[in-house]
Amino acid sequence: MSAYLEKLKNAEEVVWINPEKLTAEEGLARIEFSEADIDDAAARLVRFAPLIEKMFPETSETGGIIESPLTEIEAMKDVLNAEGAELEGRLFLKRDSDLKVSGSVKARGGIYEVLKHSEDLAIESGLLTGYDDDYTKLASDEAREFFSRYKIQVGSTGNLGMSIGIMSAALGYNAIVHMSMDAKQWKKDLLRQRGATVIEYDGDYGAAVVQGRTESDADPMSYFVDDENSSALFLGYAVAAKRIEAQFKEQGVTVDDEHPLFVYIPCGVGGAPGGVTFGMKVVFGDNAHCFFVEPTQCPCMVVGLETGKMSDICVQDIGLTGLTEADGLAVGRPSGLVSRFMKLLLSGEFTVDDEKLNPYLRKLWKNEGIYIEPSACATFIGPARMCSSTEGKKYIADNELEAKMANATHVVWATGGSMVPQEIREKLLNE
Ligand SMILES: *Cc1c(COP(=O)(O)O)cnc(C)c1O
């Protein structure tokens, strides 16, 4: 057994560097998606923007485009450095926690997949005459009646269910969300209030997905959002990279051979961080260094990559519980599709102890006045250890980045949080 696997088995925090990463050019050439697919997804979101604005007026400021702010968090950088991070350059928070409609990174991929499916159905049936038709028609009574004949189902630990459930129910679908035991009660309550059906399971995420998929497959009118294999989800997430390019310009951030970009993203099944990473590599090439973060009891992606077994191994196979407070990351087996791509593109991974999540949550709140959910807080282990750990230092040296680190930009991806109810926020802040 490798030294890494031994540490993972013991639920120790690790900094894992991917030994199989290729150059961006070589890696991307082996992936069946390309920049054109991301552009196609971005264009679809533009087509739907008038509809989104009509259905969700809170998106009117951005004309129905669901996008999140990129905020520099200098005070948090100082906090991490006071704790020994040795971080140079600038630190930013990508606030997908504040994405409208469903308050997490799932508002990218999840909503995108529902829209794509709806567009397919609407065009096939003649409800829309083509891509240049008026998409706000899809908010009409006639369209709702049409969509109500169809079901959309998904298995989820919480946030994916919220994005799929909220969007599907809003369009009129019969939305059914299969929730694992990790799912927080408030997420189930909110979904039911929005008109989705929530089915609860005693098992983990994998079990909820199997049930959801089985029920959906048995019903020809039902569509299953398959988080473990979905290319639509993946491409919806990837659009983030195209949009962050413009936000970097606004913030005076350069990414080039002299100005490296480090991105840290919490990982569950891998779809969201995988899609974002794919996009980042397409847009920024070798100058983007992407790292995933997972809980020490549930590091499914790094276990899959380190063993080479990808989705043929789960964290329980190496004796871990798979249990974590980070509900968004409580996935024991990685996506087969995404692990195959990440082997080629990902720089590495950090695992984080659950005990660190709440302290990060409170430090971000105290120093920046920004609230994000515990799963999202996992991301801070990235900048905390990138430049101070032995493995991180070696990565920087091996990639000849030492002299460039003063010019580096670090982006921590805040994957969720704005919909957490006030009483739960207070409880977590006062714990
Ligand atoms: C879903 C989620 C992630 C990870 O996304 P995956 O696609 O499952 O890897 C990270 N953080 C939060 C808050 C999430 O909801």
pLDDT in tens, 312-324: 999 999 999 999 9
- The span from the CA of 227 to the CA of 155, in Å, is 8
Tokens of 145: 């009646």
- Residue 92 makes CB contacts below 8 A (sequence gap 6+) with 70, 71, 72, 73, 251, 253, 409, 410, 411, 412
Task: List the beta bridge partners of residue 177.
Answer: 154, 198
Residue nearest to atom 1 of ligand 1 (CA): 328
CA-closest candidate to residue 141, choices 163, 113, 171: 171
C-alpha 412/C-alpha 263 separation (Å) is 6
pLDDT of residue 22: 98
Q: How many angstroms is it from 39 CA to the middle of ligand 1? A: 23
How many whole angstroms separate alpha carbon 26 and alpha carbon 44? 28
Query: Which parts of the chain have pLDDT scores under 50?
Result: none
pLDDT at 230: 93
Ligand 1 atom closest to residue 97's alpha carbon, by position in its atom list: 13
pLDDT in tens, 347-397: 999 999 999 999 999 999 999 999 999 999 999 999 999 999 999 999 999
In whole angstroms, give the CA distance from residue 166 to residue 117. 15
Question: How close is the Cα of 268 to the center of ligand 1, in Å?
Answer: 5
**What pLDDT was estimated at residue 206?**
85
Ligand 1: atom nearest CA of 273 is 9
pTM: 0.97
- As given in the structure block, the two tokens for residue 50 are 């008038």
Task: Kindly state if the Cβ of 106 falls inside 6 Å of ligand 1.
Answer: yes
Whether the CB of 330 sits within 6 Å of ligand 1: no
271 lines ligand 1 (CB under 6 A): yes
Give the model's pLDDT for residue 183.
Answer: 87
User: What does DSSP assign to residue 173?
Assistant: -
Q: Which of 94, 106, 163 to mutate to test the pocket of ligand 1 (most atoms within 8 A of CB)?
A: 106
The residue whose CB lies within 8 Å of the most ligand 1 atoms, and thus the one to mutate among 96, 97, 105, is 105
Structural domains of the chain in order of their starting residue, each with its CATH number: 3-102+238-430 (3.40.50.1100), 106-231 (3.40.50.1100)
270 CA to middle of ligand 1, Å? 7
**What is the per-residue pLDDT for 257?**
98
The rounded Å distance from CA 107 to ligand 1 centre is 11
